[in-house]
């Protein structure tokens, strides 16, 4: 990436900015115990997927779907949304440099309002937020990242996606963007053949190096 070409940064939310992936794994495991989906790897299958797709694909029975959603809402209402160390500082640094930033998440608007109540900077520091209910196709479809890029006045190839889930990484790559993978949700061995840059956490992103890299 040439130093003169400022990219846009497209951040996933859970597992990238906010440390909630482990919490959501436990929540969905509890929901699966109450309303069995029949998939032993259910909690892994849904990482990076929006709520509509999860409910439609794994809870086709209306009664079970309503029960699963009610359980999720109860858990989310009591959740603590904790940012990863360095997340806010990275976004503040990027914005100070004139870099456009977006949140691109599979979460819906209702969940985001709960998050904003605890972490208003996630609303205030970003140029735009793309939620799962704003697009027709869930990750790994690239629609969310393509939409974010265009709303920021960029082509996807002029963007850098920061993702943690396999479906999110695939969506970023399919959009044409450069992808930085964070090994906060899946093992490094699962993503080493997918992207050239893998970091353990968001605080390891070096903007100076990123902006001068030609890769």
Tell me the per-residue pLDDT of 104-122, one tens digit each, with 9 for 90 and over.
Answer: 999 999 899 999 999 999 9
pLDDT at 9 over 70: yes
User: Can you give the pTM of this predicted structure?
Assistant: 0.88
If asked whether residues 48 and 127 sit together in one domain, one would say: no
Same domain for 107 and 194, yes or no, is yes
The percentage of the chain sitting over the pLDDT mark of 90, rounded to a whole number, equals 81
Residues 102 and 45 in one domain: no
* Res. 193: pLDDT tops 80: yes
Closest CA to 46 of 132, 150, 159: 132
Residue 134 and residue 95 share a domain: yes
Any idea which of 14-18, 83-87, 93-97, 195-199 has the lowest mean pLDDT?
Answer: 195-199
- Domain identity same for 12 and 44: no
DSSP string, 25-67: HHHHHHHHHHS--S-TTHHHHTTT--HHHHHHHH--SHHHHHH
Predicted local confidence at residue 22, as pLDDT: 85
Region 179-188 average pLDDT: 91
pLDDT value at position 5?
63
In degrees, rounded to 5, the angle at the alpha carbon of residue 48 between the alpha carbons of residues 79 and 111 is 35
Q: Name the residue range of residue 54's domain.
A: 21-77
Do 106 and 149 lie in one domain? The reply is yes
pLDDT at 101 over 60: yes
Strands across the sheet containing 128-130: 128-130, 101-104, 8-11, 159-163, 178-182, 197-199
Residue 3's pLDDT band (cuts 50, 70, 90): very low
Is residue 21 classed as helix, strand or coil in its secondary structure? helix
Q: Are residues 102 and 188 in the same domain?
A: yes
Provide the number of structural domains found in the chain. 2
Six-digit token string for 41: 């790897």
């Amino acid at each position: 990436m040439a130093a003169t070409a400022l990219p846009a940064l497209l951040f996933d939310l859970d597992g990238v900015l906010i440390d909630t992936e482990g919490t959501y794994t436990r929540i969905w495991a509890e929901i699966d115990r109450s309303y069995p989906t029949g998939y032993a790897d259910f909690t892994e299958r849904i990482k990076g997927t929006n709520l509509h797709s999860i409910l439609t694909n794994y809870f086709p029975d209306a009664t079970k779907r309503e029960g699963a959603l009610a359980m999720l809402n109860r858990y989310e209402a009591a959740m603590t949304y904790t940012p990863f160390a360095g997340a806010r500082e990275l976004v503040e640094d990027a914005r100070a440099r004139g870099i456009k930033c977006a949140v691109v998440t599979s979460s819906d608007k209702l969940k985001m309002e709960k998050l904003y109540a605890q972490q208003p900077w996630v609303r205030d520091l970003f140029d735009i937020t793309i939620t799962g209910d704003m697009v027709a196709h869930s990750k790994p479809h690239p629609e969310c990242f393509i939409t974010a890029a265009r709303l920021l006045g960029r082509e996807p190839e002029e963007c850098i996606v920061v993702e943690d889930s396999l479906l999110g990484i695939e969506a970023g790559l399919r959009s044409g963007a450069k992808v930085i993978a964070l090994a906060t949700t899946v093992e490094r061995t699962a993503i080493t053949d997918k992207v050239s840059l893998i970091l353990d956490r968001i605080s390891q992103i070096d903007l100076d190096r990123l902006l001068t890299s030609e890769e």
